[in-house]
């Protein structure tokens, strides 16, 4: 049996706002939900009668679908709104769109938006839970949750003594920023590596090591998190060409041989095969890329359940 513990957050905006104890509440609930994935009857009644609106102003496969599946597993209804199919294209403000979604009786809002701070902004003007599914390069908190959950299944709850290296386009990565917060809260040492244009020294103010020496960063790492080059957020060229990025920083068989045996290879997706990661390595036994995707369902179930419980104490009963 699992309870909501002392969770009080109506919204889920950033890992920065979440304590280590609250991360533990989320992980324990996600673990309980994982036990239900193998059942023939996968649905739980916890959010029966609730409606989730998925407002996605940027493309998504994993995050959007896993929120929809998470809602369905908790017996909530979900409705998807894309930027191009919403009245935002007719000039409606985000504020008015959100207030109309509330007026339409939605109980939870999940939003992906290109503007950093957009989820926080909505959370202050509407009463229903707002869950950040990615806001520009600022945060992708549920991605960090599922990444850390995947590592926690191997390492246990204390990441002390573990080194996680994040390789690639850190500058434009909300995944990197959220994981820096989450991994350090759990006790891991974090190293960022890549070209100096994409891994600026000022990230060291977040408590991480900044490196531009790939071999030195890889040799003692316990988990390697690769990132896609995010052209859509880059406003100028940060390296001469993709081919040159791959030749200097792409993970290939030779560079993978620098890793310790058993190093875990991760990627939030979507992967660009042959750019940041060699195709065979993405599909190798060391890769947990698809496991990360599956864990996204239960981590998002935990977030939906806890945030809904924070505004509706009636649903604070034990689950599973």
Using CA atoms, how far residue 232 sits from 19, 54, 59, 167, in Å, is 32, 21, 11, 18
Output DSSP code: residue 311.
Answer: H
Binding of ligand CP by 194 (CB under 6 A): no
CB of 134 to ligand CP, least distance (A): 6
CB of 48 to ligand CP, least distance (A): 26
Q: How many CB atoms lie within 10 A of CB 20?
A: 13
From the list 14, 32, 54, 63, which residue makes contact with ligand CP (rule: CB under 6 A)? 63
* Local structure of 181: helix, strand or coil: helix
User: Cα separation of 277 and 137, whole Å?
Assistant: 21
- Residues 109-148, one symbol each (x = binds ligand CP by CB under 6 A, - = not), give -------------------------x--------x-----
Sign for the pseudo-dihedral over CA of 254, 256, 258, 261: negative
What are the residues whose beta carbons fall under 8 Å from the beta carbon of 224, sequence distance 6 or more?
164, 165, 167, 218, 251, 259, 263, 264, 265, 266
Binding of ligand CP by 233 (CB under 6 A): no
Binding of ligand CP by 62 (CB under 6 A): yes
CB of 277 to ligand CP, least distance (A): 14
CB of 133 to ligand CP, least distance (A): 7
CB of 273 to ligand CP, least distance (A): 15
Applying CB under 6 A, the span of 19-27, 57-65, 78-86, 201-209 interacting with ligand CP comes to 57-65
Of the two residues 62 and 99, which places its CB atom closer to ligand CP in the complex?
62
- Applying the rule CB under 6 A, the residues between 238 and 277 that interact with ligand CP are 268-270
* Local structure of 56: helix, strand or coil: strand
Tokens (6 digits) for 174: 């909300």
Sole residue written with tokens 């023939």: 40
- Applying the rule CB under 6 A, the residues between 5 and 44 that interact with ligand CP are none
């Amino acid at each position: 049996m699992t309870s909501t513990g002392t969770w009080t957050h109506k919204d889920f905006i950033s890992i920065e706002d979440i304590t280590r104890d609250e991360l533990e509440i989320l992980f324990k609930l996600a673990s309980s939900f994982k036990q239900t994935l193998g059942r023939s009857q996968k649905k739980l009644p916890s959010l029966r009668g609730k409606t989730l609106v998925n407002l996605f102003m940027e493309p998504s496969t994993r995050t959007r679908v896993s929120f929809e599946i998470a809602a369905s597993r908790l017996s909530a209804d979900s409705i998807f709104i894309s930027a191009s199919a919403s009245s935002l294209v007719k000039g409606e403000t985000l504020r008015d769109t959100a207030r109309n979604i509330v007026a339409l009786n939605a109980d939870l809002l999940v939003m992906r938006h290109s503007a950093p701070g957009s989820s926080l902004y909505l959370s202050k003007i509407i009463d229903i839970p707002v869950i950040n599914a990615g806001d520009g390069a600022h945060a992708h908190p549920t991605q960090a949750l599922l990444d850390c959950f995947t590592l926690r299944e191997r390492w246990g709850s204390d990441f002390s003594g573990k080194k996680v290296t994040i390789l690639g386009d850190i500058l434009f990565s909300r995944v990197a920023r959220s994981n820096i917060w989450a991994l350090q809260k759990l006790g891991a040492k974090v190293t960022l590596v890549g070209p100096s244009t994409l891994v600026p020294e000022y990230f060291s103010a977040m408590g991480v090591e900044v490196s531009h020496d790939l071999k030195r960063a890889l040799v003692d790492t316990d988990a390697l998190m690769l990132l896609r080059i995010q052209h859509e957020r880059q406003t100028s060229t940060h390296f001469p060409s993709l081919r040159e990025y791959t030749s200097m920083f792409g993970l290939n068989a030779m560079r993978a041989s620098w890793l310790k045996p058993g190093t875990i290879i991760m990627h939030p997706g979507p992967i660009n095969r042959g750019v940041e990661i060699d195709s065979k390595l993405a599909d190798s036994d060391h890769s947990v890329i698809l496991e990360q995707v599956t864990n996204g369902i239960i981590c998002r179930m935990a977030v939906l359940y806890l945030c809904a419980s924070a505004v509706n104490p009636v649903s604070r009963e034990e689950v599973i």
